Structure 1
Amino acid sequence: MTGASRHFVLAAGGTGGHLLPAFALAAELHRRGHHVALITDKRGADIPGKPDFLPAHVIPAGRFGKNPLSWFKGLKAVWEGRRMALRLFDSFQPSAVVGFGGYPSLPAILAATSTGVPTVVHEQNAVLGRVNRLFAGRVDAVATAYPEVERLDAKHAAKVHLVGNPVRAGVLSLRDEPFPPFTEDGLLRVLVTGGSQGARVLSEVVPDGLSMLPPALRQQLQVTQQCRPEDLDAVRERYRTHGIPAELATYFEDMAARLADAHLFIGRAGASTIAELTAVGRPAILIPLPIATDDHQAANARELAKSGGARMIRQERFTGKELAKQIKVLAENPQGLAKAAHAAWNCGRPKAVEDLADLVESFGGAELMDVIRVGGNNARGSSQGVPAGQGAVREAAE
């Protein structure tokens, strides 16, 4: 515990991308002796992984689509959500309100900024989200996960703090473990995921792409792949036809353990995925979701790709032939994967949750810490078994 116990409200949209960092911050603030409450929507209140100590308050948020006729209904819901948030603030008396993006955070931040409650927004992606963009000029601090964030106005630079994306404790505990050795006669363990329900394009392309690898490399493969339920049988048959051992499932409970064993990750470029890959230090081939708002997954992938820790393939260029080409670049040299792993590890920000909690605690407590401002020092390690600077910049042509 770092001082007197205080109250904090976290507000987040009902998806894992918004809620996982909120849960991590809640756990850290709780560990420090503070009381924390969550504002979200019904999806967020029911999502697995919510800490038992964290009460969830479901409020209406409203949505604003392309049809202006729907805006009145959305504004009405936001106003009702603001009223409910104000009622919570009256009884809970928060020292600060922290928004993690998504429409359910809008009424809470609106209520906080209109009544003088200190506010922080955390942006998980490399493009500032719509709600965070709306409030960037009104909040007290903007915490970011990347050194460069698109759609973030330069005039707000004084309130921007680079902290990173908090990751699950089980994944973070793997950071000091060495990269599993990959030898010419050992297994090449490949982990493939496409989000909570898998991605059809991965099911269609990855088995065929792996089959195009040189025979010696193909014989080393051991694949673990998450698939959509309706794709399982077809994907299993493709791997059987190609003679590639593969374990398939719609969901893996022990994803941290799977990541620990993996030599190569293939999948989307969501904020939580990038944070976990860099926390552990795992090479990746990333296929950004093409319909992601503001193309934020491509922006998420760029830092890791430029470091040499990943190769990015746009979905329109994601073919079996292109996938095989990129895997060969990484895996044909036994040291290639280790160097890429080190580059990914160097992009990690393992103290993200502590730095974010320090920032949040600074309101109503100590002076704001300058150590985590953009351009300052970040909490990063310097080695993972490979000397720094050996990883070349590698990004697949777009």
Structure 2
Amino acid sequence: MKVLIAGGGTGGHLFPGIALAEEVVTRHHRNEVVFVGTERGLEAKVVPQAGFPLEFIRARGLKGKGLGQLIKGLLALPLAFIESFRILQKHKPDVVVGVGGYASGPVVMAAWLLGIPTAVQEQNALPGLTNKLLGKVVKVVFTAFDEARRFFPEGKVQLVGNPIRRKLMDNYLRSHVAHERFAILVFGGSLGAKGVNQRVVEALEHLVDLKDQIHFLHQTGKNDLEMVRKGYADKGFQAEVVEFIDDMSDAYARADLVVCRAGATTLAELTVCKKASILVPFPYATDNHQEVNARALVEAGAAVMFRESELTGQKLAEQIRLLKQEPARLKQMEKKAGLLGRPEASKELADVCVDLMVHAYGPNGRDRPAKAETQKDPGASKP
């Protein structure tokens, strides 16, 4: 089986695609996955590191752009479609899956026009414009939140959760890492989050009496790295401050509490890794979808949420102090988070991809030798 995964831009779109790709290639040594993205997106760095081939198209965003950027985006569309057709003819995938981002739209539409089975994976409770449009033509829409169902044609939606990368699944299967200090993981997504970074630094002034009891691991993004490092140093806190965390599995395993944004992929990771969290939704997310995402965890008792406009350093410090002093409540939040986790999401998505291929081309796929490539290797391990 050969799957082409289109989209990316941010980790929220890209990492579910990586997780699906890992599941597909693990099933049989002849299975293949190809990614299509843009040179500006996170995929340009992460996909090659993950060991998958990557093609580029010159797509641009349209929604929420100024007039100049909108015109550039519209002018780039015909070229993006031509490049998408060429890539599809070159690789001849059995199934095309869009995961959101600039590249998803042209590639999935081109695949649909060529008669290739298509699907989209919607990570959020409130779908983006691209997936809403693609949902009208694709065979299947994978969702992570039941709230997204109403935006798509009846009968196409499969609620499976957000796929999680294998390294994070390792965390799900192993015991908690023992450590002396209360460990807090802070991050704002793959690009960082200025609002989260600033509130955490402001909170340190109100936590000075606990500086010998708390350890921070803080992913800042590129722009705030030095500011955040100085903030911890000035207050005498022990902290690992980095631009980007490569091994999130280890980071989650070490954390007693997570302070982060509320992107759908982040929430999926929190639930699979069974982590209590303080969520600060990105206030400028399209249709405020991060706050909608976060409420699912808050209502389940797995997280605490603050709107960024209402959050102060003092409020954040008070909540951190409260959760540190109430380990029983923290454990209950971890348990509630775990009940929301969907560790089988990657497997379920891959199963449907196989069904789409078999229905369209038979068990051997599109223009492939007569060999059952969809079967698992005898020694292949299950996710």
TM-score, reference length from structure 2: 0.84
- Specify the alignment match of 2:185 in structure 1: 191
Q: Distance in 1 between matches of 2:33 and 2:276?
A: 36
- Given that 1:62 and 1:76 are in contact with CA atoms closer than 8 Å, whether structure 2 keeps it comes out as no
Q: Distance in 1 between matches of 2:86 and 2:234?
A: 61
Q: Distance in 2 between matches of 1:192 and 1:53?
A: 28
Q: Aligned to 2:171, what secondary structure does the other structure show?
A: coil
What's the offset of the Cα at 1:228? Answer: 4.6
When residues 309 and 210 of structure 1 are mapped into structure 2, their CA distance, relative to the original with a 3 A threshold, is farther
Q: Aligned to 1:224, what secondary structure does the other structure show?
A: strand
Q: Distance in 2 between matches of 1:231 and 1:67?
A: 26
Q: Distance in 1 between matches of 2:141 and 2:158?
A: 6
- Given that 1:64 and 1:74 are in contact with CA atoms closer than 8 Å, whether structure 2 keeps it comes out as yes
When residues 40 and 254 of structure 1 are mapped into structure 2, their CA distance, relative to the original with a 3 A threshold, is closer
Q: Aligned to 1:316, what secondary structure does the other structure show?
A: coil
Q: Distance in 1 between matches of 2:70 and 2:195?
A: 34
RMSD value over aligned CA atoms? 2.7
Match of 2:345 among 336, 342, 352: 352
- Specify the alignment match of 1:109 in structure 2: 108
What's the offset of the Cα at 1:232? Answer: 4.2
Structure with greater helix percent = 2
When residues 289 and 54 of structure 1 are mapped into structure 2, their CA distance, relative to the original with a 3 A threshold, is same
Q: Please say if 1:165 is aligned against 2:162.
A: yes
Counterpart amino acid of 2:55? H
Counterpart amino acid of 1:323? L
Say which is worse superposed, 92-101 or 279-288, in terms of deviation.
92-101
Structure 1: gaps spanning 5 or more residues = 1-5, 368-398
Q: Aligned to 2:148, what secondary structure does the other structure show?
A: coil
- Specify the alignment match of 1:124 in structure 2: 123
- Given that 1:127 and 1:151 are in contact with CA atoms closer than 8 Å, whether structure 2 keeps it comes out as no
Correspondence list, 1:32-111, <5 A: 32-33=27-28, 34-44=31-41, 46-50=44-48, 54-64=52-62, 73-111=72-110
What's the offset of the Cα at 1:213? Answer: 4.7
Q: Please say if 1:277 is aligned against 2:274.
A: no
When residues 151 and 95 of structure 1 are mapped into structure 2, their CA distance, relative to the original with a 3 A threshold, is same
Q: Distance in 1 between matches of 2:22 and 2:203?
A: 41
- Given that 2:60 and 2:73 are in contact with CA atoms closer than 8 Å, whether structure 1 keeps it comes out as yes
- Given that 2:22 and 2:165 are in contact with CA atoms closer than 8 Å, whether structure 1 keeps it comes out as no
The number of residue pairs the alignment matches comes to 356
What's the offset of the Cα at 1:69? Answer: 7.3
- Specify the alignment match of 2:26 in structure 1: 31
Say which is worse superposed, 134-143 or 251-260, in terms of deviation.
251-260
Percent identity over paired residues: 37
- Given that 2:208 and 2:235 are in contact with CA atoms closer than 8 Å, whether structure 1 keeps it comes out as no
Say which is worse superposed, 20-29 or 326-335, in terms of deviation.
326-335
When residues 265 and 111 of structure 1 are mapped into structure 2, their CA distance, relative to the original with a 3 A threshold, is same
Correspondence list, 1:351-390, <5 A: 351-365=344-358
Q: Distance in 1 between matches of 2:258 and 2:242?
A: 16
Counterpart amino acid of 2:123? Q
Correspondence list, 1:225-236, <5 A: 225-228=218-221, 231-236=224-229
Counterpart amino acid of 1:248? V
Structure 2: gaps spanning 5 or more residues = 361-383
What's the offset of the Cα at 1:251? Answer: 2.6
What's the offset of the Cα at 1:300? Answer: 1.9
What's the offset of the Cα at 1:68? Answer: 6.3
- Given that 2:37 and 2:44 are in contact with CA atoms closer than 8 Å, whether structure 1 keeps it comes out as no
What's the offset of the Cα at 1:139? Answer: 1.0
- Superposed CA deviations along residues 158-203 of structure 1, whole A, max 9, x for unmatched, are 1101111122211111113344679xxx521111112234323233
Q: Please say if 1:224 is aligned against 2:217.
A: yes
When residues 87 and 279 of structure 1 are mapped into structure 2, their CA distance, relative to the original with a 3 A threshold, is same
- Specify the alignment match of 1:378 in structure 2: none
Q: Distance in 2 between matches of 1:90 and 1:230?
A: 40
When residues 364 and 194 of structure 1 are mapped into structure 2, their CA distance, relative to the original with a 3 A threshold, is closer
When residues 174 and 80 of structure 1 are mapped into structure 2, their CA distance, relative to the original with a 3 A threshold, is same
What's the offset of the Cα at 1:349? Answer: 0.6
Correspondence list, 1:230-249, <5 A: 231-249=224-242
- Given that 1:78 and 1:106 are in contact with CA atoms closer than 8 Å, whether structure 2 keeps it comes out as no
Q: Distance in 1 between matches of 2:70 and 2:208?
A: 56
- Given that 1:128 and 1:150 are in contact with CA atoms closer than 8 Å, whether structure 2 keeps it comes out as no
TM-score, reference length from structure 1: 0.81
What's the offset of the Cα at 1:366? Answer: 6.4
- Specify the alignment match of 1:3 in structure 2: none
- Specify the alignment match of 1:255 in structure 2: 248
Say which is worse superposed, 164-173 or 233-242, in terms of deviation.
233-242
- Specify the alignment match of 2:374 in structure 1: none
Say which is worse superposed, 322-331 or 100-109, in terms of deviation.
322-331
When residues 199 and 364 of structure 1 are mapped into structure 2, their CA distance, relative to the original with a 3 A threshold, is closer
Counterpart amino acid of 2:125? A
- Given that 2:7 and 2:13 are in contact with CA atoms closer than 8 Å, whether structure 1 keeps it comes out as yes
What's the offset of the Cα at 1:277? Answer: 1.1
Counterpart amino acid of 1:63? G
- Superposed CA deviations along residues 12-63 of structure 1, whole A, max 9, x for unmatched, are 1332222211122122212223222222112345222436653222123243
When residues 366 and 192 of structure 1 are mapped into structure 2, their CA distance, relative to the original with a 3 A threshold, is same
Say which is worse superposed, 319-328 or 349-358, in terms of deviation.
319-328
What's the offset of the Cα at 1:335? Answer: 0.8
